[in-house]
Structure formats: structure tokens, C-alpha cells
A = this chain, B = another copy of it.
Amino acid sequence: MMYSMKKIVLDCLGGDNGLPAMVSGAVTALKQNPELQLVMVGDAEQIKPQVVEFGDRVEIVDTKVNIAMDEHPTTAIRTKTDSSLVLGLEQLKTRNDCGAFVSAGSTGAVLTGGFMKIGRIPGVSRPALCPCMPTLIDGQEFMLLDAGANMDCSAEQLVQFAVMANEYKKALGMEKPRVALLNVGAEETKGNEVVKTAHAMLNKLRDAGMINFVGNIEPDHVFQGDVDIVVADGFWGNVLLKSSEGMVKFIFKSLKQIISSSFSAKIGALFLGGKLKKFKAEKMDKTNATIFLGLKKSVVKMHGNADARKVTSALNYAMTVVDLDLHQRIEPALAQIETVLGENA
């Protein structure tokens, strides 16, 4: 990965845990990464004393105005022009030395704000959320998109997701990302109408050498590490994301019940405990942060309930997407889709 000198803008007011979690997570990230530079947007009086030690690696943009989790996104972005979210996005938009914006604010507000303030790369129909999810193979993840930003996607939009994700992974240094289409069966004839149409279009892009499309993938195979990108409508993608999260909670809560129910299980847990925690922290926090893929600059949305540890992890993630110049890659790639599908239609 190339090292970028660009700054990351952090919304210090958004999210359920507010400023303390944001600042504490940022301090840890600043200590861990000597090259990290931040523009922190929030209450300067509270932030300043905690970041004094980092000198000019940290800038502060002062505001006490927050967009609450339940505010109407469009209205909030339009009217609360002095909110941390809007001020932060404006830093990203107007400053060449800023390469990413990170917020735990409400999904609706962050997406709407990114859409309105940063804007789409020309040709992009709908930007998509694309979290990384864990696989059984250590160090290997898959990217799921769209994970919930767009409902009722057309086959054309699914194809755009595939191509955008492909360019993104290539920008991160992966040569031939394996692109799969989320479906309820492996065979081409399976699925609903949108997915069948998208499958045929992705086959054409593969034949034209544009992407390494490996076919359908069923939701119970995504965690095996066979693919790098899983394409889905935002509704199905969100179901995949959230039902996996729900199952994780279910199993770990059940394990707790089991452990507290017997003495020998408690002893077992003592020996296993640290390993389990490490597993949860390393593999299960992957989905915490994601860019909104298709915007002109990197807008990173993290979980609304992000605590300090997750803020640090989101900032580490943002360091990998700061200044990726996706604009230069995605615009021509999307144009190429039309050429290929037009020619072969």
C-alpha cells in the first residue's frame, strides 16, 4: 500500500457514543500510526486538551452542533449547515489535502450528506455501501455491496456495483478480484428476475475480459474465502449482513449462557477466554466501517454504536482508502460497461 500524506476528517459528534468515544479512538489511532493526520470536527474545548501532544498532526474545526440519529436526513443536511457532519464533508470537498471523511452519524444522514456535498463520480447510478466481511482464510476478506444503501436495484445497477468494487479492489493492489453474484443457488437458472438478468450481463463483461466474474454464490458459502466481491441489491445485502451479525450475537450470547450454567464449562471458558475475545475482535469487527463507493472522494460510515476501539479500527480502515483516486478508475470503467453490453446485446 502506498503511503498517503492526505488528512482524514473525523466527525467527532455523530454516533451513539458521542465525542468521548470519537476522541479516545482517535488518540489511540494517532499513537499507533505516526503518519496519521486528522481534521477533527467537534467541540474544540473538549477535544483540544486531549490531542495537544500530537501538535500540528491534528487540526480542529469547532462546532457543538450535531445531527441526531433520528433527524430527517435531507432536512438536516440542508438546514444544519454548522453541524459536524456538514462542516466535515465541506472540509473533504474543498481541501486538496483531505482524502477521507469518517462519521458514526446516522446512515441516512451520512449517505445523503455524501451524496449532496461530495457528489457521485460521473456515470455512477447509485453509490453503494461495501463493508468487508471475514472469511475462514486468515487475512482474507470479502467485500459485500450494496449492503443497504439502495432498495429495488436494477440489473444494470448490480453490474455497476460489480465494476466499481472491481476497480476499488484493483486500486488497493489486488490483481484479479473474484467477483460473485449473491443468489439462492449456484446454477445460472436460479434466483429472481433481477439476479438472472444481472448474471447474463456479468457473463458478458467476463467474456470481454473486464472482470473476473466467477458466477453465483450462495449466502452460506460467502465466508469460505472463495471470492473477493459479493454483489447484491441493498435489500438482500442488508439481510445477509444483518442476519450474519444476528447469528454472531446469538451464538456468543448462547455460549455465555452455556458457560454460566456449569462449573466445568466455566473452567473451560477460562482457558479459552482470551482466544475467543481475540477471534471476535480480529474477525468480527470487520464490518464496522465502509466507504460509500461511487462518490468523488472517500466518505466512510462506521457503525452508529462505534466505541473507542471501533473508532480506531475505522480510522485504520480510512487510512487504506484515503486518496485512492477512484474517480480516475471508475469513470472510464463504467463507460466501458456500456460499450461491452451495447456491442453484445
A152 touches B193 (CB 8 A): yes
Contacts of A219 in B (CB 8 A): 238-239, 241-243, 245-246
Question: A251 contacts B254, CB within 8 Å?
Answer: no
A243 and B250 contact, CB distance less than 8 A:
no
Interface hit among A92-100, A265-273, A293-301, A306-314: A265-273
CA distance A273 to B152 in the complex (A): 45
Residues of B within 8 A of A134 (CB): 250
Contact residues, A232-251 vs B (CB, 8 A): 233-236, 238-251
Also in contact, A247 and B223, with CB within 8 A (given A242-B218, A272-B269, A275-B265): yes
Find the residue from A233, A236, A270, A283 having the highest chain B CB count within 10 A: A236
Closest to A192 in B: B151
Given contacts A223-B250, A240-B243, A251-B248, A234 and B184 within 8 Å (CB-CB): yes
- Asked if A220 and B191 sit within 8 Å, CB to CB, the answer is no
Q: Say whether A222 faces chain B, with CB atoms less than 8 Å apart.
A: yes
| Copies of this polypeptide in the complex | 2
Flag if B275 contacts A239 (CB, 8 Å): no
CA–CA, A267 and B275, complex, Å = 12
Q: A residues 17-45 with Cβ under 8 Å of B? A: none
Task: Let me know if A75 is at the binding interface, CB within 8 A.
Answer: no
**Nearest Cβ on chain B to A146's Cβ, whole angstroms:** 11
Q: Is A184's CB under 8 angstroms from B221's CB?
A: no
Interface residue A14 (Cβ < 8 Å from any Cβ of B): no
Interface residues of A (CB under 8 A from B): 134-136, 148, 151-152, 182, 184, 191-193, 195, 218-223, 233-236, 238-251, 253-255, 257-259, 261-262, 264-265, 267-273, 275-276, 279, 283
Q: Give 4 closest A-B pairs by Cβ, nearest first.
A: A268-B271, A268-B272, A220-B246, A219-B242
Q: What would be 30 A-B contacts, judged by CB atoms less than 8 Å apart?
A: A136-B254, A136-B257, A148-B184, A192-B233, A195-B235, A219-B242, A219-B245, A220-B243, A220-B246, A220-B249, A221-B246, A222-B246, A223-B249, A235-B236, A236-B236, A239-B243, A240-B243, A243-B243, A244-B244, A244-B246, A247-B248, A254-B283, A255-B276, A258-B276, A261-B275, A265-B272, A267-B268, A268-B268, A268-B270, A269-B272
